[in-house]
Each structure stands twice: as C-alpha cells, then as structure tokens.
Amino acid sequence: MAYDEGLAERIREQFLERLDVEEKKMFGGLCFMVSRHMCCGIVGDTLMARVGPNDYEHSLKQRHAREMDFTGKALKGMVYVSPGGIESDADLAKWVGVCTRFVESLPPKK
C-alpha cells in the first residue's frame, strides 16, 4: 500500500530537531521510530498514532480518531487519525506530541 508522501514530509518536519528518529516501512505504510520505538506512521493518507494505554480512551474520543484495527482486532494504545484530524500543522503536532511523549516514557531498547 502506498502512503501519502506529503504527510510523511509534514511528520519529518515535526522531528527536525531530533537525531533519534528513523523511518521504516511497516504495516503497508511508513513508520517513524523514536529511540528505536515505533512512534507514529502513515497508512494510506491516515496517521497511525501510538498513544499508549493511558491516552487510548481519551484519544478515541477525539474527532477523526478511531481504533486501529489493522489485524481485524483493535490494537490497544494505537489509533488511526483520518486526514480531517491532521489538516493543520498544529493538529498534526498535537498527535505527534502525544505519540512522542508515550515512547519517551518507555525503557530504552538495547
């Protein structure tokens, strides 16, 4: 599956100041890894956001967010955000911030 290259560039801009970000093709799209942890990504034109268990229910209540059901079953701690929820750079920054805060709370990967 192809992913929205324009959205990829907008996410790259969110991480300009970081040296610990990598991109990997996953889930039929593109994932952004922060300190070797999956942080967020793109499937088609949709943001895949790793919000973590504590922000999961709150995130699902946000407009344009829905369960990430890539496997047919909801992945707890992960949500999809449709294009309408990330139209502005401020909206995208909010979601990327939630994801980044969560992965920064995880223990370092070896």
Average pLDDT over residues 55-84: 92
- Mean pLDDT for the stretch of residues 72-96: 95
Task: Go through the domains of the chain in sequence order and give each one's CATH number.
Answer: 5-104 (3.90.1150.30)
Residue 53, both tokens? 């268990």
pLDDT for res 17: 94
Residue 60 Cα to chain centre, angstroms: 14
Question: Does position 104 have pLDDT exceeding 80, yes or no?
Answer: yes
Q: pLDDT at residue 71 above 70? A: yes
The DSSP code sequence of 29-63 is: EEEEEETTEEEEEEEBTEEEEE--HHHHHHHHTST
Q: Estimate the crossing angle of helix 53-60 against helix 89-104, to 10 degrees.
A: 160
**What percentage of the chain's residues is helix, strand, coil (to nearest 5)?**
35, 30, 35
Instruction: Name 25's Cβ contacts closer than 8 Å, sequence gap at least 6.
Output: 31
pLDDT tens for 12-68 read: 999 999 999 999 998 789 999 999 999 999 999 999 999 999 999 999 999 999 999
